[in-house]
Amino acid sequence: MKKLCVWAVAALLMAACTPKAEKATDSGLLQSKFQTEVDGKKTDLFTLRNKNNMEVCITNFGGRIVSVMVPDKDGVMQDVVLGFDSIQDYISKPSDFGATIGRYANRINQGQFTLDGVEYQLPRNNYGHCLHGGPQGFQYRVFDAALLNPQELQLTYRAEDGEEGFPGNITCKVVMKLTDDNAIDIQYEAETDKPTIVNMTNHSYFNLEGDAGNNSGHLLMVDADYYTPVDSTFMTTGEIVPVEGTPMDFRTLTPVGERINDYDFVQLKNGNGYDHNWVLNTKGDVTRKCASLKSPKTGIVLDVYTNEPGIQVYAGNFLDGSLTGKKGITYNQRASVCLETQKYPDTPNKPEWPSAVLRPGEKYTSQCIFKFSVDK
């Protein structure tokens, strides 16, 4: 009997000393794979969950949405965004997957602009232009993170005067809130000590079928009568032209792939498909739906709301199968649709367009809501 007790105590001690297996998120992510240091700051993975068991995972490296689990028409949870399953992949495989983009989303012509008579030169990292704040924009910076409650994450970042060529020390705050009606409500704020330009967005790559297959069957609606054409370097020409009678008309739900390869239409040739800014009819009314994406296969619907004047629709034209994402899935061309709410591209060089200028004493604010539902 005494011998049996000794063995029982030994077994209990061994059990207590054996490390428990780490529990993965619903999307299959391990928090430990997102914990490291970048530029002396710690990175981590944060999980938001609402009463419907919708789950959103976010890393403070680049303020990135890593996974979004929502139910399909059969009640099966699907991960509807592209991304990687470790911080090392985000570091070693440059991408904009899920990222908070800043200081200026989209392109600035030749990386140059003039503000209050002062000329600024930014990095030229995309066909001679500055794209998404330069090669070391916010998507590669570590934000300070605070989990305000189980459904709300606050991310803050201070960009220094001269960072990527932009003027002014700016403090930025991004609050991502998962609501109980299955929406991700993203609110941005920024303040500066010197006149500057700010234009922030989220760059999630959505695929509502959960398998990152081709986006051609997704249905897209954009509430816009006009869009801003681009030249062969993806730079806006300064024109605002009607969508009427063109492949750019998405005022009713239309398959993304129905006209995307119509390269006789020069804008699709220039953009290698859809990679354009639409001029929203919603005119800053965040209560009005500005865009919708729907998968007939899963029944998942994504509705977008914003107070911004424009939305960039990018159909994953430059994905080429060279990146392997979560769960070993290869991301081939057009495996997603990005819906980036923002000011128009190159606004600093087009004064007739909505201004992106931020001055001391002012506060930059922007809001984007990604609301999910199911159409059975």
Q: What is the pLDDT of residue 20?
A: 75
Q: Residue 211 domain-assigned?
A: yes
Residue type, 119: E
Q: What is the pLDDT of residue 187?
A: 98
Helix (H, G, I), strand (E, B) or coil at 40: coil
Q: What is the pLDDT of residue 99?
A: 98
Q: Residue 3 domain-assigned?
A: no
How many domains is the chain built from? 1
Q: Residue 350 domain-assigned?
A: yes
| The two three-digit tokens of residue 288, written as one number | 């009005």
**109-115 long-range contacts, CB within 8 A, separation 24+:** 109/235, 109/346, 109/349, 111/165, 112/349, 113/197, 113/348, 113/349, 114/348, 115/167, 115/195, 115/196, 115/197, 115/348, 115/357
Contact, 223 vs 250, CB < 8 A?
Answer: no
Q: What is the pLDDT of residue 17?
A: 54
Q: What is the CATH number of the domain that holds 57?
A: 2.70.98.10
* Domain extent for 291: 31-374
Q: Which residues are catalytic?
A: 203, 340
Q: What is the pLDDT of residue 251?
A: 98
Q: Residue 317 domain-assigned?
A: yes
Report the residue count for the chain.
Answer: 376
Contact, 84 vs 145, CB < 8 A?
Answer: no
Q: What is the pLDDT of residue 155?
A: 98
Q: Residue 13 domain-assigned?
A: no
| The two three-digit tokens of residue 43, written as one number | 């990175």
Q: What is the pLDDT of residue 4?
A: 46
The low-confidence residues of the chain, meaning pLDDT below 50, are 1-4, 10, 15
Q: Residue 4 domain-assigned?
A: no
- Binding-site residue numbers are 106-107, 203-205, 275
The whole-model pTM stands at 0.94
**Using omega within 30 degrees of 0 as the cis cutoff, is the peptide bond preceding 103 cis?**
yes
Contact, 28 vs 326, CB < 8 A?
Answer: yes
Q: What is the pLDDT of residue 376?
A: 76
Q: Residue 23 domain-assigned?
A: no
Q: Residue 178 domain-assigned?
A: yes
pLDDT in tens, 21-37: 899 999 999 999 999 99
- Binding-site residue numbers for beta-D-galactose are 106-107, 203-205, 275
